[in-house]
Structure 1
Amino acid sequence: MALANLKDIYIDQLQDIYSADSQAAKVTKELAGAAHDAKLKEALNAGVEGINQGRSTLAEIIKAHGENPADEFCKGMEGLVKEARSHGLEEDISDADARDAMIITQYQRMAHYGIAGYGCLVAFAKRLGLKDDAAKLQKCLDATAHGDRTMTELAEGGINKAAA
């Protein structure tokens, strides 16, 4: 689709974040399986649930605008997922605590991509007068930011110290 105005950009970016979330959910589940710390596993599994809730919200919004959620592939998240697998799962890290620290790093990089994407979508929806969309997307943004804060708390609360 040719992007002619903010509405076109909005739809394109909704589809982009839908794709990003689809990719992030899959690798986050894999990261949860590799995590050693029980609280980290729990947080990552909660992250998968949150990402999937965001995907559902995005699909609902995209379909309400008469578009297909799967019409875009997010190459930015593709790169982050590749890095998460390479460093968080495949890297030869012999210490379980160090692997957990790396898993947090990779998760947070993906979360920050989501925070940026959802933040832009909220701003676009507000500018376009799409109050219901903006409210739903703000909830997605808040949930993504909460997941990021949870990872920071786990890292600073002991995982980084154990990895040192």
Structure 2
Amino acid sequence: MGLFSTPIKTLDDLFVHTLKDIYYAEHQITKALPKMIDKAQNPALKQGFTHHLQETKEQITRLDEIFQKLGQPAEGVTCEAIDGIIAEAKEVMSDIADPAVMDVGMASAAQAVEHYEMSRYGTLIALAKQLGHNDCVPLLQKTLDEEHAADRKLTEIAQGDLNRKAA
């Protein structure tokens, strides 16, 4: 148990902790995306980041709704994983001078974030079903579907002309 965290004794505790983890992560993503939008040179990448920023804000609203359904305060717990992914992305991007290579680096970092989110939302759906929180499943599934779509879009953009232009 971490110094400032609540003990996880039950599967329901783990479910709520995981919700708090992804809640924190989504908030960190809303802080990182505007910077990526500003740096992106490729119009499709810029538009994809802009669209996903709006989606992420809606995902936070859905998480707020889930916390409300559970009678829990909507609050995050520090997510070392997302902090690490974002820190690594910042470090790599600080070393890139070529704007075309920067776009590829940002797309790659964004996919790392999407994959983390997909793993979390998949877990949350499984736990919600097991715990009988069936009213939470459609909200979580909608977000998981959006994360999969964002990942597919990033792959499409990269395989379109992003990687070729950077080469």
Coarse TM-score class (shorter-chain normalised)? over 0.9
Equivalent position of 2:134 in the other structure = 131
Q: Does residue 51 in structure 1 map to residue 51 in structure 2?
A: no
Q: Output the amino acid matched with 2:68.
A: K
Runs of 4+ in 1 over 3 A off after TM superposition: none
TM-score, with structure 2 as normaliser: 0.93
TM-score, normalising length: structure 1 = 0.94
Separation in structure 1 between the aligned mates of residue 13 and residue 141 of structure 2, nearest angstrom? 20
Aligned residue identity for 2:108: T
Q: Partner residue of 1:64?
A: 69
> Which of 87, 101, 112 pairs up with 2:115?
112
Aligned residues between the structures: 162
| Root-mean-square deviation (Å) | 1.1
Percent identity among equivalent residues?
A: 30
Question: Helix, strand or coil: the match of 2:136?
Answer: helix
Structure 2 counterpart of 1:13: 18
- CA distance in 1 between partners of 2:114 and 2:33 (Å): 10
Letter in 1 for 2:75: A
Residue 150 (structure 1) aligned with residue 146 (structure 2):
no
1:50–1:144 Cα contact (<8 Å) kept:
no
Q: Which runs of 5+ in 1 are unaligned?
A: none
Structure 2 unaligned blocks of 5 or more: 1-5
The alpha-carbon deviation at position 34 of structure 1 amounts to 0.3
